[in-house]
Amino acid sequence: QVQLQESGPGLVKPSQTLSLTCTVSGDSISNSRYYWSWVRQPAGKGLEWIGRIFSTGRTHSNPSLKSRLTISVDTSKNQFSLKLTSVTAADTAVYYCARQRAPYYDSSGFWAWYFDSWGQGTLVTVSS
Amino acid sequence: QSVLTQPPSASGTPGQRVTISCSGSGSNIGSNTVNWYQQVPETAPKLLIYSNDQRPSGVPDRFSGSRSGTSASLAISGLQSEDEADYYCAAWDDSLNGPVFGGGTKLTVL
């Protein structure tokens, strides 16, 4: 089955750039049925969708982060990456990469989608 | 503040049936399907229900979901101690062109 694994520094200084990579195994990142996404979770809080990328390189980001965010894909390595610039303490969170089923019309005619596989998550702390 | 609204906590005794609600708007739950995720502390979320009421392979039929209008709910019957976890609802939001989540409900099995 598909497995995702986040990697990157666990500590980033304020105003610097947070960089994470997700390595995918058990599926090709070029699989057209899926998007590849980032989700984060501050300690004790809920989940926030950060953004996604398709194998073609097409991306879509949460507007709240869009000006600071870059998501890229390396199909040769079966990896996708996140870069978040000008970080502050508010960016401290567990960051997850996840495989997202691309939206489709289900049997009831509704727009369906879901995250079906997640990485274990990596804690990134923003602190000097 | 989360886009979808869930109660912060819920509880029940073993064997009981509990429900968790999730409220949204026309741009998310009102026009798209709802998913539910279970998160045991210190682990990644796990897909529990997708497309309002569908269970992935391996999820017990004690878990069921429903959606009506701009609200959805998760029901857990025959509550077990291992069901103690945080539960999150999620829906596609047309305005965001991406998923939005509820704030999570912490389920305690008494």
Per-residue pLDDT at A94 exceeds 90: yes
Phi, psi of A37 (to 5 degrees): -125, 160
Give the pLDDT confidence of B38-85 residue by residue, as tens digits: 999 999 999 999 999 999 999 999 999 999 999 999 999 999 999 999
B78 three-class SS: coil
Cross-chain residue pair B44–A96, CB shorter than 8 Å: yes
Is residue A89 predicted with pLDDT exceeding 90? Answer: yes
What's the gap in Å between the CA of A97 and the closest CA on chain B? 10
Token pair of A61 as six digits: 């980001």
- The gap between the terminal CA atoms of chain B, to the nearest Å, is 28
Tokens of A124: 């990134």
Is the Cβ pair A114, B50 closer than 8 Å? yes
B61 touches chain A (CB under 8 A): no
Express each pLDDT in A51-67 by its tens digit. 999 989 999 999 999 99
**Helix/strand/coil for A91:** helix
Please give the structure tokens belonging to residue B73.
């709910």
Q: Which chain A positions have a beta carbon within 8 Å of B88's beta carbon?
A: 46-47
Whose CA is closest to B77, among B64, B62, B59? B62
Element (H, E) at A103: strand A93-105
Shortest distance between the Cα of B19 and any Cα of chain A, in A, equals 19
What letter would DSSP give residue B82? Answer: G
DSSP bridge partners of B47: B37
Closest Cα in chain B, distance from residue A70 (Å): 16
Q: Which helix (H) or strand (E) holds B10?
A: strand B9-12
Judge contact between B91 and B33, C-beta under 8 A. Answer: yes
